[in-house]
Chain A
Amino acid sequence: MSTVGFGNTLLRRRGVLPGFGAGFGLTLFYAGLLVLLPLGALILKASALGPRDVFRLVTDPRTLQAFQLTFGSSAVAGGVNALFGLLLAWVLVRYQFPGKSLVDALVDLPFALPTAVAGISLTSIYAENGSLGALLGKLGLKVAFTPLGVTVALIFVGIPFVVRTVQPVLEDLDRDVEEAAAVLGATRLQTFARVILPALFPALLTGFALAFARALGEYGSVVFISGNMPYKTEIVPLLIVTRLEQYDYAGATALACVMLLFSFLILLAVNLLQRWSRRGAPA
């Protein structure tokens, strides 16, 4: 991890593989072209709006509600996915059962499915006349066209992230470490909490961050199930699209910039937490 002593070590060290200069240059160019350039254009466009206008736009109750819903439901969805993704990964790694490879393949489906398709199917299931919606309606639980529905859609699109990040780490986890804990007197729960979970934690955090980030930007699956009611179930990406449709490019990009800033800060925090939790791991 300490290899990124820039300039004086990294640039001078000759690796076994040639082409560091070209590789590094190409990477910078590629990242610049694909990530930094559009983001730069975004900020440039947003700067057409004065700081006062941006502030008014962002503190507008309707916008505030959208921010709250977007970040809140994304965080909840990320958390739920972390929990159940861990469980799913555990079952897939530790147990043998018929149809295991089928389940394994199903996990990736939310990746491949067009999000609009996911949104429409979720809506039709959870709507009041839908199969699951009718059942839940009897229990007094309304999912479609509520913040809960938004969260359900975000959970759906985020499932693969946690499973796919935790799975390989779990596969690499040595069984003898668990046995060592057992011989030292630890119960299964203690072994899980003190030995397995700390080892999985960095991967789990990565999975959470990916699922959370994916949820923040999700649009297609949410707009159907949310019903897009102002002050109730609007998400930020929807507000951005709405403004674009009204040719309010400056407003749309300003919202996007604020969203970007917060997302970046949160992901940065998660990354720092992850680095801290990785201490002691072999470099």
Chain B
Amino acid sequence: MSVRTEIVSKRFAARGPAAVDNVTFEAKPGAITTLLGPSGSGKSTLLRLIAGLERPDGGKISIDGKDVTHVSPRERNVGFVFQSYALFRHMTVFENVAFGMRIRKLGKERIQERVLELLSRVQLAGYEGRYPSQLSGGQRQRIALARALATDPKVLLLDEPFGALDTKVRIELREWLLAFQESARVTTLLVTHDQDEALELSEHVVLLADGKVEQTGAPHELYDAPATSFVASFLGGGSLLKGTVRSGRAEVGSLAVQAPEGAEDGAEVRALVRPHDVRLEKAADGGEVAVARVERMRRIGPRIKLLLMLPTGDAVTVHMPKTEVDELGIESGDRVLVDLKDAKVFVEDYAI
């Protein structure tokens, strides 16, 4: 069951900025679509608009082909999971999961059966008599998921569901969600600001910035072919260098990289250099190479993070496996040749 929004907008203050600004996108049935963006990009508001918890100022929202723009949240039949879990504290786990079914006046046995099935599905069988306060954060969030799934929702809306959990639990829950999704195939919209989460979990990413859609596509498409420097720096990150186009090549200081097609001579460009995409050599000749100085080296587990200073005064961060650094014999203070072949070059105004 698909979810579509068409030029949906929402402002919280009459003359304030639009939290969601003419957003059009479609979430494919049976897949996880991520609404990704920095805080304040409007991703949570968009999710709440789809759930009916906010009213749009304009545009159309449809779920499963039906226009639900003016339908109240209780009639949309969506499952919503909050970052704060939002469990009913005075109810047992059983009653929490059963809530939606009790509202729908399902039979006792049916409810009993379904709750126990869901609890085993979220690996919390035997917890039905506990209260939320007796559970850990990860367990609470799984109960919230079970509660949201209990009414067979058409879509599952997850608002930064793992945001309040520690890294280890977060990674476990991600694995669990992927496994669950592979078997259940519920259309899922996941809001997150965590690029790793988006890249790992989703089949489709909608990247938002300032309430607008910046780019949509499969995670690898956004990563490999970012439409804007914002997308590139948000997904993958990296060092941003200024340059100028000269005879079809973007010159960044003494380095030159392939300029984007159609870039005019003299145009200002920005080159985004991803930390993993830089190759270093101690001695080599070649086109797209330059000499830089290794300012600092830090070891992060199996990797080494190097800070390079280019002759232009720009700093570039590089991540390399420790073994590779050892093979090259690079030490702090060394002069190295830098290959920026995979830098993404953008012709545009860009402000950080």
Contacts and interface: CB of A to CB of B under 8 A. Distances in A.
Given A281-B133, A282-B89, A182 B53 contact: yes
A282 B77 CA distance: 31
Contacts of A177: 86-89
A179 B73 contact: yes
Interface string A169-204: 000001011011111111100100011001101000
Contacts of A4: none
B230 to A, nearest CB: 30
A199 B90 contact: yes
Given A179-B86, A185-B104, A280 B133 contact: yes
B73 A182 contact: yes
A173 to B, nearest CB: 10
B236 to A, nearest CB: 32
Given A182-B73, A184-B147, A199-B89, A190 B103 contact: yes
B125 interface: no
Interface string B126-150: 0000011100000000001001100
Nearest to A190: B103
A197 to B, nearest CB: 10
Contacts of A282: 89, 133
Nearest to B132: A280
Interface string B66-98: 000000111111111010101111111000000
Contacts of B77: 185
B51 interface: yes
Contacts of B144: 180
Nearest to B147: A184
A282 B85 CA distance: 15
A189 to B, nearest CB: 11
Contacts of B87: 177, 180
A37 to B, nearest CB: 40
Interface string B36-77: 000000000000000111000000000000000000111111
A176 B160 CA distance: 14
Chain A residues touching B, majority SS: helix
B34 interface: no
Given A184-B99, A282-B89, A176 B82 contact: yes
A283 interface: yes
Contact of B133 (A194, A199, A201, A283): A283
Contact of A185 (B103, B131, B133): B103
B270 to A, nearest CB: 40
A279 B132 CA distance: 11
A166 to B, nearest CB: 15
Interface string B193-211: 0000000000000000000
Interface of B: 51-53, 72-80, 82, 84, 86-92, 99-100, 103-104, 131-133, 144, 147-148, 151
Given A179-B82, A179-B86, A183-B53, 17 more contacts: A177-B89, A179-B73, A180-B82, A180-B86, A183-B73, A183-B76, A184-B151, A185-B77, A187-B74, A194-B88, A194-B99, A201-B90, A277-B90, A279-B90, A280-B131, A281-B90, A282-B89
18 contacts: A174-B86, A176-B82, A177-B88, A179-B73, A180-B82, A180-B144, A183-B52, A184-B103, A184-B148, A184-B151, A185-B75, A185-B104, A187-B74, A198-B88, A199-B89, A277-B90, A279-B131, A281-B89
Interface of A: 174, 176-177, 179-187, 190, 194-195, 198-199, 201, 277, 279-283
